[in-house]
Amino acid sequence: MKSVKEKGMQTEMLDVSSNEFKRSWKRQEQQAKSISDACARRMMLFYAVECGGKHLLMLREGCFMYSRMPNKFKELLHDINKVLKELGLEEKCEFPTLQSEHGESISPGQYQEMWRYGINIKKADEMGKIIEENMLKALQLLHELEGRKWSRI
């Protein structure tokens, strides 16, 4: 019997190097500046925060391939709150749980899915602005962290 991975269905994240995460972080952050559509821009900023955070975690842990990261980090998936918490930055940013117009709660780890699928949320303009401001703040904090000596992290 073939495994799920052999059949072409991916169940695990592809292996990524810390340098690839860094390149993706910088590219997504830069590209977001030129996107006028709020949802598309926010999704790009979200991925920039996620990639930047994972890059810095990998450097801190001395694991330069994602596959070599301790399992507790692999379980973070897309949850930018948890990624930032691992770096000691979570208290400096606010990523609230949102409510969809369908009555579902949307956690920070599901933001990219919300924007990707165009899910309507309650107080969309207000909450979107709060989240975007905090993602920009998180990116600034990640840049500051990147500039520090790793022995202090």
Task: Read off the pLDDT of residues 120-135 as tens digits, 9 standing for 90 and up.
Answer: 999 999 999 999 999 9
> What is the pTM (predicted TM-score) of this model?
0.86
Between the alpha carbon of residue 135 and those of residues 3, 35, 79, 129, the distances in Å are 38, 15, 13, 10
Task: Read off the pLDDT of residues 14-50 as tens digits, 9 standing for 90 and up.
Answer: 888 999 999 999 999 999 999 999 999 999 999 999 9
Between the alpha carbon of residue 98 and those of residues 117, 128, 146, the distances in Å are 15, 10, 30
Dihedral pair phi/psi, residue 105, rounded to 5° = -85, 140
Q: Whose CA is closest to 106, among 123, 83, 85, 84? A: 123
Q: Whose CA is closest to 130, among 142, 119, 138, 140? A: 138
